[in-house]
Amino acid sequence: MADFLVAAKNNWMVDADKTGWTQEQIDDAERQYKIGDIVDIFEDGKLSDYAHAGGKFYVLRIKGLTKNDAMKYIEVEYENILTKGVQDKRIVRKRMYKFRIDDMPVLIKNKIKTDYVYTINWSDIKGYCFNKKTLLNEV
């Protein structure tokens, strides 16, 4: 079992009025956390019910998955670029994986959005764990 800390709110840039923003600023907003992004993963039982931080996170306690196995879900998505001929990495998105909260069954979705804390089997939720780079759900 592992405790997932999942973004319950978009970064402020995502929803901001972008009138007058440069393309660079708009691109920057795209890199930021959005609802469902997996921010952090902890050992089973680490997080209390208060870890939602006043509704900023969802705390998902997921059974059937160890922290070590889950760590890939907090990977940052980078692209490799060259800076004056030198290898560099630029962030594409802060997280490569997200949970498609809004696509979950209504009972589960509502419970998560109401309580901010939910315990569920990995087998029941992994189909909603979405890789933003490959555009595929976990299977």
Partner 1 sequence: MATVVRYVNPGSSGGDGTTSALSGANAAYASLSAWEAAENTNLDTANNIMQVNCAGSTADTTAVTISGWTTSATDYIEIIGDWAPLTDGKFSTSKYRLNVQNFTQLTIANATAFIRIHNLQIYNSDINTGNIWGILCNSTITSGEIRIYNNCIRGNNNTSWYDMGIRILGGTATYYIYQNWIYDWGTTADFNYSAIYFNPNTIAGGVNCYCENNTFHNNVVGIQRFAGNLIAINNIVKGSGNTYSYVGTFATGTDYNSTDSTDSIGVGSNNKTSQTFTFVDEANDDFHLASTDTGAKDSGTSSVNGGFTTDIDGQTRSGTWDIGAHEYQAVGGGLSIPVAMNQYRQRWA
Instruction: Choose which of 21, 42, 111, 132 interacts with partner 1 (CB under 8 A).
Output: 42
| Cα 101 from Cα 80, distance rounded (Å) | 30
> How many residues touch partner 1 (CB under 8 A)?
39
Given the complex with partner 1, which of 52 and 120 has the nearer CB atom? 52
Contact 136, 128 (CB under 8 A): no
74 binds partner 1 (CB under 8 A): yes
11 binds partner 1 (CB under 8 A): yes
33 binds partner 1 (CB under 8 A): yes
Is the four-CA dihedral 41, 43, 46, 48 of positive or negative sign? positive
18 binds partner 1 (CB under 8 A): no
Cβ atoms within 10 A of the Cβ of 130, count?
A: 18
CA distances from 75 to 59, 70, 72 (A): 18, 10, 5
Instruction: Choose which of 40, 44, 124, 138 interacts with partner 1 (CB under 8 A).
Output: 40
Contact 47, 15 (CB under 8 A): no
Instruction: Choose which of 1, 21, 44, 46 interacts with partner 1 (CB under 8 A).
Output: 46
Instruction: Choose which of 87, 106, 114, 135 interacts with partner 1 (CB under 8 A).
Output: 87
By the 10 Å C-beta count (0-12 exposed, 13-18 middle, 19+ buried), 108 is classed as: middle
Applying CB under 8 A, the residues found at the interface with partner 1 are 5, 7, 11-13, 24-25, 28-29, 31-33, 37, 39-42, 46-48, 50-51, 53-54, 56-57, 59, 74, 76, 81, 83-84, 86-91, 94
